[in-house]
Amino acid sequence: MWVWLKESWPILWPTLAAIGVILAVVPLLGLYMTFIERKLAAYVQDRIGPNRVGPFGLLQAVADGIKIFLKEQVIPDHVYTTLYFLAPAMSLMTAMFALVVMPFGPVPTDYEGGFRFVVQPGNDIGILFMMAISSLSAYGIIVGGWASNNKYSIYGAIRSCAQFISYEIPLGLSIIGVIAITGSLNIEKIVEAQSGSILDWNVCWQPLALLIFFTAALAETNRLPFDLPECEQELVGGFHTEYSGIKFVLFFLAEYTHIVTVSFLTALLFFGGWHFPGLPNPTGGTTLGMILGLAVLLFKVSMVVLFIILLRWALPRFRFDQLMGLAWKGLIPMGLVHLVGVAIVLSLGLPKHLLILTAALPIAAAYYSSVKFNASMGRWNALESGVRKTSAVSYE
Amino acid sequence: MSNVKKEKTVKWGEEPKLSILDALYLPAIASGVATAIRHAVSGKATTRQYPEVEPEIPPNYRGVHRLNRDEEGRVKCVACYMCQTACPANCIEIIAAPAPKDDPHWKDRDKYPATFTIDELRCIYCGMCEEACPVDAIELTSIYDLTGLSRQEMIFDREKLLSVFDETVKSGKDPVRTHRGVLGPASETAATAKQAPPPPGRGRRG
C-alpha cells in the first residue's frame, strides 16, 4: 500500500491538488457570485447595493454564508424525507462532477507530470462526459420538486424536466460542428485547434453555433430569461419552495456552478480558451506562459459570467410555450441545418471559414417568420372587420 | 382593409407589422443589454443612503409622543383624561393626583398626572390625543426611528415622555405648532383665571 502510494505519488498529487482547488474555489465562487450579482443588479437599477459589511461590502458574501449555515433546519411535515435530503446533494454533486474534465487553466497537450489545471487531463471523451453529467443535474431538480410534495414544486420540476429535455438537443447539435471539425472530443485539443490567430477561434467561423450553444446553455442553467422552473411570480420558488438553510444553499451553489461551467465551456469551445493573439503559446510549459494563459482564460470566463448576470436584468422571462417554441421551432432546425453545413464542408474539403455563411440562417428564419406573421395578422384583421360588418348589419 | 368602410367615431388601430429585425429578436436583446450596461456604468444612484443621509421629515409628522413642560419646567398636563378618552387604540393610561398645595412650586396648579404611560407599540399615531388636549401638553414629534429591544422598553412613562420633550427641544426637532411654555386656560387655578389672558401668539415658536 505504502509502496504503491510512493510510486504513484507523482501522478496522484496533481490530481488531488486540482480536486482540492475545485472543492475550495467553487463554493467560494458561488458565494461571491451572489455578491457580484447583487452588486451588478444594483448598478443596473441605479442603486448602490450591499455596502455595509467590510470595504465596499466585500464581506457581505461571508456574512451571508455564515447566516445561512446557522439557519434552522426546517423540514416540512409533508415531504418525502429521504428524497428531500437527497435532492440538493444530487444537484450539487452532478454540477461539481462535470468539472472533472474541465480545464480551468492552460493544459499542455503533452501531459507531463506536475500540476495541470484540470483534474483529469487528456480525457478523450471530455466534452461528451460533461454533457452527459450536466444533463443529470435535471434529476436533482426533479427529485427535489417531487420530494417537496407540493403543487408549485412539482410544477417547477415538470417545467424543468421539459426544458432540460428540449434544450439538450440544440446544445448537442451546436457543439457537434466544433467537435467534427476539430476531430476530437478532448477539450484541450479543441482549445489547441484555436491556437492560431483570432480568426481560428470557433466564434469567428461558426457564430450560429455559439448563438445556439449559449441560448441552450442558458436554458440549462435555469437562468433568466429561461428560469421558468423557479419563477417567483408564478410558482413561489419552484422546486426549491420547501427548502431553506443549507439545503437551499446546495441548490443555489449547483446553479452557480452551472453558470461557471457554462461560462468556461463558452470560453473554451468558442473563444479560444487560454489563447490570445500576441501572447506566447502557454502549452510550452513555462511558468510565465501558464500564468498568462490562466489570466486570459479567467478574463474570458469572467466576461461571460458578467454577461450572463447582465442578461438577467436586460431580458424578460419567456412564456412556457415560447420557451418550447424557441427550442423546437427555432434552435433545433437551425442546429440541424448548421450540422448539414458542417458535413458539406468536411466531406468536400472546403475551407472551414465558409461555415460563417450559416449565420445567414437566423436572418432567413426571421424573414420567414415575419412574413408569416404579417400574413396571419392581415387575415386576422380582415376576419375581424368582416365579423364587425356582419354584426353591425344584424344589429340594424 | 382599405375596402372596409371605417366609422368616423371609432378609432381603428392595427398591429404594427413585424419586420425582419423584430423577428430576429437579437437587436431587441442587444438594445436591452445596452440599456442595462448604460445604467450600470453611469454610476449614479437614485436611492437615498439612509443612515448617512436622513430624510427630511415634515414638521407636522406624527411620530413619537412627548409631554410638554410649562415655563417652570413642570409637566404641563393637567390630568384631564381627554387624550385617554379620545385615544382609539387605548394606549394612554393616566392616574391623576391633586397637585401638592404645600409646595410653592405647584401652588398655582390643581391636578397633575401621577403616572402617564403610553404604549408606543399599541399607538396608531393618529394624533387624536394631540387634538383632544386642552392645554397642548401632549404632542407628536417628528421622531420616526423608534426602536426597542423589548416590549417593556416601548411603554413610555411620564419621565420618558418628558425626556423626549427635552431632547426634541434641544435637537431642534421641535414640532413648534403649539403654545409651548404657556399654560392654557384649563390649567389655570381660580386665582390666575381672573388675570387677563395672554396676548395672542405669545409663546409661539418659543
On whether the CB atoms of residues A154 and A145 are closer than 8 A, the answer is yes
Whether B177 maps to a domain, the answer reads yes
| Residue B92 lies inside a defined structural domain of this protein | yes
Evaluate whether residue B45 is within a structural domain: no
- Residue B119 is predicted with a pLDDT of 92
- Write out chain B residues lying below 8 Å of A45, CB-based: 39
In angstroms, rounded to a whole number, what is the distance separating the alpha carbons of residues A38 and B142? 34
Buried b (16+ CB within 10 A) or exposed e, A106-120: bbbeeeeeeebbbbe
| Closest by Cα among B54, B55, B63, B51 to B143 | B63
User: Maximum Cα–Cα distance for chain A, whole Å?
Assistant: 103
What does the pLDDT look like over B62-91, one tens digit per residue? Answer: 888 888 887 778 888 888 888 999 999 999
Task: Give me A128's grid cell.
Answer: 461528451
**Could you give the number of structural domains in chain B?**
1
Q: Does B97 touch chain A (CB under 8 A)?
A: no
Please compute the mean of the pLDDT values over residues B119-130 and round it to a whole number: 89
Q: Taking residues B143-170, report their average pLDDT.
A: 87
- pLDDT number for residue A9: 77
A122 to chain B, minimum CA–CA distance in Å? 37
Cα–Cα distance measured from residue A224 to residue A227, given in angstroms and rounded to the nearest whole number: 5
Spell out the alpha helix ranges (H) of A76-201: 81-97, 126-147, 151-182, 187-192
Residue with cell 387605548: B90
The answer to whether residues A146 and A157 touch, using CB atoms and an 8 Å cutoff, is: yes
Distance CA A376, CA A385 (A): 14
* Contact flag A44-B17 (C-beta cutoff 8 Å): no
Reported as type and span, the H/E element at residue A33 is helix A2-44
Q: 3-class DSSP state for residue B94?
A: strand
Residues paired with residue A312 on neighbouring β-strands, in sequence order: none
pLDDT of residue B203: 45
Rounded CA separation A151/B184 (Å): 66
* pLDDT at residue B118, as a whole number: 92
Task: State the CB neighbour count (10 A cutoff) for residue B84.
Answer: 17
Q: Please determine, for residue B204, whether its predicted confidence score (pLDDT) is greater than 70.
A: no
What pLDDT is stored for residue B12 in this prediction? 66
**CA separation for the pair A177, A166 (Å, rounded):** 19
Q: Which carries the bigger pLDDT value, residue B67 or residue B206?
A: B67
- Whether residue B170 is contained in a domain is answered as yes
Confidence of residue B124 (pLDDT cuts 50, 70, 90): very high
Size of interface A-B (CB pairs under 8 A): 71
Interface check for B30 against chain A (CB to CB < 8 A): the answer is no
Chain B residues in contact with A323 by the CB 8 A cut-off are none
Q: Nearest-CA distance from B51 to chain A in Å?
A: 11
Which pairing describes strands B92-98 and B65-67: parallel, antiparallel, or unpaired?
unpaired
Q: So what's the pLDDT on residue A380?
A: 66
Assign residue B99 the CATH number of its domain: 3.30.70.3270
For chain A, the structural domain boundaries read 2-370
pLDDT of amino acid A47 = 87
Of A313, A362, A373, the CB nearest to B36: A313
Q: Which domain holds residue B91?
A: 65-190
Q: How far apart are the first and last CA of chain A?
A: 100
Helices marked H in A183-331 — which ranges? Answer: 187-192, 202-205, 207-220, 232-235, 245-270, 287-314, 320-325
| Chain B residues with CB-CB distance to A382 below 8 A | 1
Residue B188 has pLDDT above 60, yes or no: no
ipTM: 0.76
Residue B190: the pLDDT is: 52
**Residues lower than pLDDT 50 in chain A:** 388-396
CA A154/CA A146 separation, integer angstroms: 6
Least-confidence region, from B64-68, B145-149, B169-173: B169-173
Q: Which residues of B touch A362 (CB under 8 A)?
A: 24, 26
For residue B88, the model assigns a pLDDT of 93
Q: Per the structure block, which three cell numbers stand in for A10? A: 507523482
